[in-house]
Amino acid sequence: MTKYHELSASAYKNKKRVGRGIAAGGGKTAGRGTKGQKSRTGKKIRATFMGGQGPLVQRVPKMRGFKSLRVPAQVVYAQELTGAKQDNFGLYEAGLITMPYHAVKVINGKGDITFKGTLSVAGASKSVVEAIAKNGGKFVKTDVPLLPAKETKETPEAKKSPAKATKTTAKGAEK
């Protein structure tokens, strides 16, 4: 009996040559069926095409009950800015935003802008950028800070004895 490791099978399979005559096995329609848009050569229809009807992926956001997954930026008024340097964490500590790991946009509210430090957030309105520059400060567009990685919790077994925590297979070999 042949053993599995003695088989002479190739890892690669030759591409089937279609459209080379009826006797070749993949001739005439070459496996595309008869007539229709999908049987023609050239540009193929996209995956979302629904025969000219409005595609589902474009209709869903217009449908009732749709809720966007996009998180809107947190808004801070420029008149509330204080200090020499402000970023997401400084605004969070001042209580102006609820979460330092989201996009923040500074916009113009009522009153004069007196901030003259460095503002480092994801966005600011044009009038705010001009007013800060006029006061002698500057605006630096930065990326939204990433959440710190969560620490993995060790199992109670691993805490007691590290030697027993190693995984073993059915044959007893360590991984």
Examine the pLDDT at 156 and tell me if it is beyond 90.
no
CATH level 3 topology of 74-141: Ribosomal Protein L15; Chain: K; domain 2 (3.100.10)
Short-list 73, 153, 87, CA closest to 119: 87
pLDDT digits (tens, 9 = 90+) for 3-55: 999 888 888 888 889 999 989 889 999 999 999 888 888 878 888 999 889 99
- CA 12 vs CA 2, 9, 62, 71: distances in Å: 21, 9, 47, 47
What is the structure's pLDDT at 169?
53
Look-up of token digits 């474009």: 58
pTM value?
Answer: 0.54
Chain centre to alpha carbon of residue 1 = 52
Q: Where are the alpha helices (DSSP H) in 17-136?
A: 56-59, 88-93, 126-135
Examine the pLDDT at 158 and tell me if it is beyond 70.
no
Ranges of each domain in the chain: 74-141
DSSP strands (E only) in the chain: 74-77, 85-87, 104-107, 118-121, 123-124, 138-141
pLDDT digits (tens, 9 = 90+) for 88-142: 999 999 999 999 999 999 999 998 999 989 999 999 999 999 999 999 999 999 9
